Structure 1
Amino acid sequence: MNSPVWNIKLYGGRGSIPVCEPGFQKYGGNTTCIYVDLLINDRSKMIVIFDAGTGIRRLAADIESGEIPQADFILLVFTHLHWDHIQGFPFFSPAYNPNQKIGIVYPQKDLHIDEVKDLFALQMQTQFFPVQLENMGCALNFLDYKEAEKLLSANGLVNFSYREHKHPGGAFSYRLEAAGKSIIICTDLEHGTSLDQKVVDFCKGADLLIHDAQYTDEEIALHRGWGHSSFNQAIETAEIANVKNLVLTHHDPSHNDVFLENMEKHCQARFPNCELAKEGLEFKI
């Protein structure tokens, strides 16, 4: 059996609300969506997608065109259910394919899977959307966290772990490890006035950390309790945790390309192996 290889592609890195104005094209305006493919024996049997922000529409087009290989099963894993992380789901075309199997995971133990299903159905009820959840057509299942752990383990080749972190309503960080390599998705996270040591511990030694960085230091002082991190907090986490590569994500809708270009240069001067999330940015680990 070949060693597993991570393929990661960002389809959305904007926070709060999509932006389609001039001056926001380099880094993109679509909200959070991250594609992760674990290649085993050169053929993926499962596509894993973290969050279904508006970027998932483009991801769906890449699946249909064959740019992303078709898979027997698509697993949608959610960091949380705020609107900017679920609003692309009704436009995810594989969900309308009767031959496609899709699983949805949100490991909030306070919610039964039927309650999670009701939350997805809510944004697609008649008053808000012309097609209701039960009429999408695919074989759609809502899975509990134990089922997700079993699926993502890939027959023991992958270690899948997660933890809840500070964000209004709660949100989850995810860590995937295989063949000695690890990726972490850690968005919509508020450390507080000092770093959350449990977050730092969760990120230790990661080959790739995708970390919330919505605000500057000045902005975050005005947005306590909003559930996000600063650029400096993300870099400090990566430094202390000895992370190899860092992607700064969840760009504020007011931050245009000029602002983000300048911020990226500033961040790279401190932590060279970092870059700001851009739509289409790919990693192979």
Structure 2
Amino acid sequence: MLARFWGTRGSLPVAPTADIIQKKIAHALVASDGRKFADEVEAEKFVENDLSFAAGGTYGGATPCVEIEAGNGSYLICDMGSGLRQFGLDSMRRNAGGHPKVYNFFLSHLHWDHIMGFPFFVPAFDPEAMIRIHSGHPDAEEALRRQQEEISFPVPFDWLRATFEFVTLTPGETYEIDGVKVETKLQHHSHGSYGYRFTDITGRSVIYSTDSEHKLEKMAVEAAFIHFFREADLVICDTMYSLADSVSMKEDWGHSSNIVAVDLCHEAKAKTLALFHHEPTYDDEDIERMHQETIRYEELTRDGPALNVICSYDGLEVRL
């Protein structure tokens, strides 16, 4: 089972400015302390081994799109954020090598940052492709068609050539989709959002739970989520805000914090937590700082097996 992160930001795509890139280069030059490199390969090793991730790389700026590799070989994709474009191009490369052209999408909800990549999804123009769109929302087709109306986009939905199927899932039921067991759960967010639990034939499980607000003072009512996250190998969780933001000026905005995510995963005895849906105003240093603070909080509150805390970024792969 493998999770590939194609987009990890929330709300809207972001890109580093020229000023940010210049600061990263300047930091690297100072850190190199006059060192000479024989070639780019040697320089890249220095960046990888001697610089922090925030200094030498980036968490990226594409909005949510996560691929789960499991089951009978069809594609399993959570959400259609701007990261979907890059996934689509990569899948075309894999298709040329014989990968089945079957795409199973699972939508958390229909807000723009989670569907905006679909008009740029190249496989949708392939008449040999089969695209199944699973959602808890019966209006999913309406939302996708609406964003491709002429007033918003020059290519209408009806010009797409793939075969489409829209499937409405019911929370509390278990579905078997191309060799993977799928459960869905309603979450607290505007217009509703849905979390997903994917379990492969070996029993390994991945939770995709974004755009869901959990409140520290209401952990007693979160028992259903603790059960949903139970002993998951990987929990991809909405950690958009710090705890201070989530309980003050951004309360009831439909997102959660890194602190509550750790508490839920501890209670559920999950193995790995992936911080996800990064705040678009946070730069790489802000996200890295939150990651380190989350690791420290997990250590201080641990009462049992360690919870591995990772921070998702565009391009990350996690093999279970």
For residues 169 and 59 of structure 2, the distance between their equivalents in structure 1, rounded to whole angstroms, comes to 33
SS of the counterpart of 1:66?
A: helix
For residues 207 and 314 of structure 2, the distance between their equivalents in structure 1, rounded to whole angstroms, comes to 18
For residues 15 and 32 of structure 1, the distance between their equivalents in structure 2, rounded to whole angstroms, comes to 7
Residue in 2 that maps onto 1:29: 61
**Alignment match of 1:10 (pick from 2, 5, 8):** 5
Q: Does residue 136 of structure 2 align to residue 107 of structure 1?
A: yes
Q: Does residue 87 of structure 2 align to residue 63 of structure 1?
A: no
Q: Is the 8 A contact 2:71 2:178 kept in 1?
A: no
For residues 204 and 189 of structure 2, the distance between their equivalents in structure 1, rounded to whole angstroms, comes to 27
Q: Does residue 198 of structure 2 align to residue 176 of structure 1?
A: yes
**RMSD value, Cα:** 2.0
Q: Does residue 156 of structure 2 align to residue 132 of structure 1?
A: yes
For residues 186 and 178 of structure 2, the distance between their equivalents in structure 1, rounded to whole angstroms, comes to 20
Q: Is the 8 A contact 1:153 1:160 kept in 2?
A: no
Q: Does residue 270 of structure 2 align to residue 213 of structure 1?
A: no
Residue in 1 that maps onto 2:284: 257
Q: Is the 8 A contact 1:104 1:142 kept in 2?
A: yes
Question: How far off its partner does 1:277 sit?
Answer: 1.1
Question: How far off its partner does 1:187 sit?
Answer: 0.6
Residue in 2 that maps onto 1:74: 103
Question: How far off its partner does 1:200 sit?
Answer: 1.5
TM-score by length of 1: 0.88
For 2:316, the aligned partner's letter is: L
Q: Does residue 79 of structure 2 align to residue 51 of structure 1?
A: yes
**Alignment match of 1:92 (pick from 105, 111, 121):** 121
Q: Does residue 177 of structure 2 align to residue 152 of structure 1?
A: yes
For residues 152 and 135 of structure 1, the distance between their equivalents in structure 2, rounded to whole angstroms, comes to 27
For residues 99 and 186 of structure 2, the distance between their equivalents in structure 1, rounded to whole angstroms, comes to 31
Q: Does residue 318 of structure 2 align to residue 283 of structure 1?
A: yes
Structure 1: gaps of 5 or more residues: 1-5
**Alignment match of 1:163 (pick from 150, 164, 185):** 185
For 1:213, the aligned partner's letter is: T
Residue in 1 that maps onto 2:211: 188
Q: Is the 8 A contact 1:209 1:243 kept in 2?
A: yes
For residues 224 and 242 of structure 1, the distance between their equivalents in structure 2, rounded to whole angstroms, comes to 27
For residues 166 and 173 of structure 1, the distance between their equivalents in structure 2, rounded to whole angstroms, comes to 10
Question: How many residue pairs are counted as aligned between the two chains?
Answer: 267
Residue in 1 that maps onto 2:36: none
Residue in 2 that maps onto 1:202: 228
Residue in 1 that maps onto 2:167: 143
Q: Which has the higher helix share?
A: 2
Q: Write out the 4+ residue segments of structure 1 that deviate beyond 3 Å after TM superposition.
A: 22-25, 148-151
For 1:136, the aligned partner's letter is: L
Provide Cα deviations, 1:58-88, integer angstroms capped at 9, x if missing partner: 1011112229962231111100001100000
TM-score by length of 2: 0.79
Residue in 2 that maps onto 1:244: 271
For residues 142 and 180 of structure 1, the distance between their equivalents in structure 2, rounded to whole angstroms, comes to 27
Once the two structures are aligned, what percentage of the paired residues are identical?
29
Distance 1:27 1:118, change over 3 A: same
SS of the counterpart of 1:118?
A: helix
Larger-Rg structure: 2
